[in-house]
Amino acid sequence: MKTTFKVVAGLALSAIAAVSQAQIKPSVIYDMGGKFDRSFNQASYSGAEAFRKETGIKYTDFEITNEGQREQVMLRFAQRGFSPIVVAGFQQAPIVEKVAKQFPKTHFVLIDAVVDLPNVRSVVFKEQEGSFLVGALAAMKTEHDAVGFIGGMDIPLIRKFGCGYEQGAKYISKDINVLQNMTGTTPSAWNDPTKGGELARAQFDKGVDIIYAAAGGTGVGVYQAAVDAGKLAIGVDSNQNYLHPGKMLTSMVKRVDVAVKSAFEDEMKGKFTPGLQVVGLKENGVDWALDEFNRPLLSEEDIAKVQDIRAKIVAGDIKVHNWEDTKSCEY
């Protein structure tokens, strides 16, 4: 009896092994904020989910909840033979660099930061371009000539969002007042809706009537404050228009989902390429969201005007300054 069981178990195991050899073992590591932050990490998650639904190939994922886990998890994933390992979030870059060197055969995909190694693909977005668009739209719709921006943690990436937004607003109206606030300087700034709400209320009191939040989970508090005060908000990373229909002017969509999905697909087809990918409006890497939830807020002219600006940026007629180039917002 025992031996039969062993044989059967052995057969079953080898069958599983045979199947998994033929398939790829993709994985995602989300950053702090969690995969349902309705924002950046959720975009990675929906890309991975879309891949699973289309191909039936399962993936493994992990949500980082403290700094110490980063290296541990990435090492474990690499040891267990996962490839590609999609790593979302700039804070993971140093760890990717370390682990990718130890596992030269494993493919890594780093989102929002750059690591120059032969087995790492780095995907960065031109957030300034998407932010420019939503900034322009905000400037068109404001009634008090004041629009606001609330960032999460004070880092160059978020400054990039804010700077693009400011340029877009000023493109429409030179004298517009653009207020900018950062929630904090530690990772908990991504997860403090209370403070986000208070920052929003402070901006409303200064006359702002549209706020763009690039702040992960903190943004949820910003949107709620906008709803409570009867003002408008602009979402980020994922399309967040559905959160408060009629109160979200639009969302600056960052197609992290596409980046994740195409990384999985490339691996499946054996066409994985390392190197740097910079995607902007032209490559559909960023965009503004227009759907049934925010369409009632916009007139045909508004939509046409935004599309026109979009076309100009794609064609290169409007140059959007990148904060990271000069470490300042001078354009």
Partner 1 sequence: MEMFDQIFSLLGASIRLATPLMFAAMAGIFSERSGIVDIGLEGKMLISAFASACAAYETGSPWLGLLAGILVSVMFALMHGYASITQRGDQTISGLAVNFLASGLTVVLGHAWYGQGGLTPSVHDERFKSIILPGAEWLGENVPVVGPFYEQVISGHNILVYLAFVSVAAAYWVLFRTRFGLRLRATGEEPNAVDSAGISVAWVRYRAMIVTGVLCGCAGTYLSIAQNAAFQREMTAGRGYIALAAVIFGKWHPKGALGACLLFGFLQSLETRLQSVQLPLVGELPSQVFSAIPYIITVVLLAGFIGKAIAPKNVGVPYVKER
CB 297 within 8 A of CB 232: yes
CB 95 within 8 A of CB 70: yes
- Decide: is 63 part of the binding site for partner 1 (CB under 8 A): yes
Q: Give the range of 51-59, 79-87, 103-111, 183-191 binding partner 1 by CB under 8 A.
A: 183-191
- Decide: is 198 part of the binding site for partner 1 (CB under 8 A): yes
Nearer to partner 1, 228 or 291 (CB): 228
Nearer to partner 1, 206 or 319 (CB): 206
Cα 265 to Cα 48, 52, 55, 94, 231: the distances in Å are 10, 10, 9, 26, 41
Minimum distance of partner 1 from residue 181's CB (angstroms) = 5
- Decide: is 241 part of the binding site for partner 1 (CB under 8 A): no
Structural element, H or E, at residue 179:
strand 177-184
Q: Give the range of 105-113, 164-172, 185-193, 302-310 binding partner 1 by CB under 8 A.
A: 185-193
SS3 category, 261: helix
- Decide: is 240 part of the binding site for partner 1 (CB under 8 A): no
Minimum distance of partner 1 from residue 33's CB (angstroms) = 8
Nearer to partner 1, 99 or 176 (CB): 176
CB 298 within 8 A of CB 258: no
Contact track, partner 1, 20-59, x by CB under 8 A? --------------xxxxx---------------------
- Decide: is 233 part of the binding site for partner 1 (CB under 8 A): no
Nearer to partner 1, 63 or 209 (CB): 63
- Decide: is 182 part of the binding site for partner 1 (CB under 8 A): yes
d(CA 288, CA 280): 12
d(CA 135, CA 161): 10
- Pick the binder of partner 1 from 120, 134, 208, 220 (CB under 8 A): 220
Q: Which residues contact 116 (CB under 8 A, 6 or more apart)?
A: 122, 276
Cα 232 to Cα 124, 139, 297: the distances in Å are 28, 12, 10
CB 100 within 8 A of CB 117: yes
- Decide: is 247 part of the binding site for partner 1 (CB under 8 A): no
- Decide: is 160 part of the binding site for partner 1 (CB under 8 A): no
- Decide: is 169 part of the binding site for partner 1 (CB under 8 A): no
Nearer to partner 1, 224 or 241 (CB): 224
- Pick the binder of partner 1 from 122, 224, 241, 294 (CB under 8 A): 224
SS3 category, 61: strand
CB 263 within 8 A of CB 84: yes
SS3 category, 169: helix
- Decide: is 177 part of the binding site for partner 1 (CB under 8 A): no
Q: Where are the alpha helices (DSSP H) in the chain?
A: 2-22, 40-55, 69-79, 93-102, 127-141, 156-172, 193-205, 218-229, 256-268, 300-315, 323-326
As given in the structure block, the two tokens for residue 184 are 């904090």
Binding-site size for partner 1 (CB under 8 A) equals 32
Task: Name the site residues for partner 1 (rule: CB under 8 A).
Answer: 34-38, 63, 65, 154, 180-182, 184-185, 188, 191-195, 197-199, 201-202, 205-206, 217, 220-221, 224, 228, 243
